[in-house]
């Protein structure tokens, strides 16, 4: 998997990105290689390598990430037509960056998996 520092650099605004949401726990920004008209990446501001690394101390971050995704979907006006939330885990699961992140996809009819 590739370098996780890119997400840290976006969170700390060292790398330019179109951030659509940021608070003390979560940062959400537009994907640079979108797979749909709306493709937002949602990341925790603390480093967690993958969903395998969720534990008792950091489990609430997933609820925060989902809450942010749902609110972005509402703000982007895709909440009624539909959207997809994806979390990939490790190489065989399609995770390309070794940093827990969620994809919010929408803005068109998405193909079935």
Residues recognised as catalytic: 101
Task: Give, in degrees to the nearest 5, the angle at Cα 101 between 42 and 76.
Answer: 25
Instruction: Please report the DSSP string for 14-44 in residue order.
Output: SS---EEEE-SSEEEEE-SS-SSSEEEEEEE
């Amino acid at each position: 998997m590739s370098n996780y520092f890119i997400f840290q650099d976006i969170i700390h605004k060292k790398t330019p990105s179109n951030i659509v949401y940021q608070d003390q726990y979560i940062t959400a920004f537009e994907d640079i290689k979108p797979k749909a008209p709306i493709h937002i990446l949602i990341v925790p501001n603390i480093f967690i390598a993958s969903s395998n690394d969720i534990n008792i101390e950091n489990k609430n971050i997933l609820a925060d990430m989902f809450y942010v995704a749902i609110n972005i979907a509402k703000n982007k006006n895709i909440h009624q037509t539909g959207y997809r939330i994806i979390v990939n885990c490790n190489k065989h699961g399609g995770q390309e960056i070794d940093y827990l992140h969620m994809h919010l996809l929408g803005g068109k009819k998405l193909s079935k998996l």
